[in-house]
Amino acid sequence: MLWALVGWLGATMLLGRFAWFGRARLVDRLAPYAPGAAARPTAGGPPWSTARTLIGPIATMVGTSTARAVGIEEDVGIRLRRIHSPLDPARFRLRQLGHAVLATSAGVLLAVALGPPAPVVVLLVVGGPALGLLIPEHRLADRSAAWQRRLELELPVVAEQLGMLMSAGWSLPGAIDRIARRGDGSCAQDLRRVTARVGHGLTVEAALQEWAEVAGVAGVDRVVAVLALNREASDLGRLIAEEARSLRRDAHRRLIERIERKAQLVWVPVTVAALVPGTLFLVVPFLEAMRLFTS
């Protein structure tokens, strides 16, 4: 049965190399023109498309269940777009499943070669695929969180630059394009995608709203809400400059909170170092006194 399944899969991938068999679906041909397609890479040739069609749903189900098991509810596609990854969700889940399969194979080979006790065998066979699934998920979550932290740090400066450019007479699309071309940080990369989406036909307000949805940062939501007044407010440069000052105050407050938390953590080893010897000095005389009274 296993050989039949492997032979069927291999024949399907082999036939997928021929155009008459591996013709792309209409949905796949129109996908580059759909909203959000600026960050959606192509899947590859027909063999890859065939493999993704056959195994992709299983890999997606397994990867999604693993993410929810460790408390990650955010869609993997949003996180991949946030960090500008060249992978689409299906390819990421397939790689994740591939890592789990390799880890399982390595665990089985080690169990057969070494012949360890039963608990170790169970650990190798069960822990291997779990690590293969969790490590890529953890790395993606860390990269996504790091990107959001960089956005929070860069956003006040970018908002100030937008305010200065618009106060100097630049239009909103022109100011965004200038910052995107001259910058090299996380905000600049995101704004380059906003500029590309405007070039695809979206309004600048809709492209900025896409950025806010993908970024998942409260400061970006606030800046986009102010920039959405582009067609209504005549002094948008002043409004965005005020928002930049507000963002800088928030960043300064978060920095003070982190410093205070670290200052409090410094006292933990000091307290332990002071309490342990003090407790010993109290316990030893007490025990000696109890021995004298009871003897």
> Helix (H, G, I), strand (E, B), or coil: what is residue 58?
helix
| pLDDT at site 239 | 86
Q: What is the pLDDT of residues 51-77, one digit of tens each?
A: 566 677 777 788 888 888 878 888 888
Q: Following DSSP, what letter does each residue of 122-139 receive, concatenated?
A: HHHHHHHHHHHHHHHHHH
User: Within a domain: residue 12?
Assistant: yes
- 75 and 196 both lie in a single domain: no
Query: Is 53 among the domain residues?
Result: yes
| The predicted structure's pLDDT at residue 41 | 44
Structural domain count of the chain: 2
- Could you tell me which of 130, 266, 71, 286 has the C-alpha nearest to residue 122? 130
Tell me the CA distances in angstroms from 47 to 9, 21, 98, one per residue in order: 11, 10, 16
Asked if 26 and 62 sit in the same domain, the reply is yes
Looking at residue 43, its pLDDT comes to 44
CA–CA distance, 105 with 85 (Å, rounded to integer): 28
Q: Do 119 and 187 belong together in one domain?
A: no
Give me the CATH number covering residue 213.
1.20.81.30
Q: Which residue has the tokens 């899969």?
A: 9
Q: Is the pTM of this model over 0.75?
A: no
CA distance between the termini of the chain: 81
**What is the residue range of 116's domain?**
2-148
Per-residue pLDDT of 111-126, as tens digits, reads: 788 777 877 777 777 7
Is 258 inside any structural domain?
A: no
Q: Is 237 part of any domain?
A: yes
Q: With 90 as the cut, is the pLDDT of residue 34 above it?
A: no
279 is a domain residue: no
Q: Within 10 A of 43 (CB to CB), how many other CB atoms are there? A: 18
Does any domain span residue 273? no
Burial of 51 (0-12, 13-18, 19+ CB in 10 A): middle
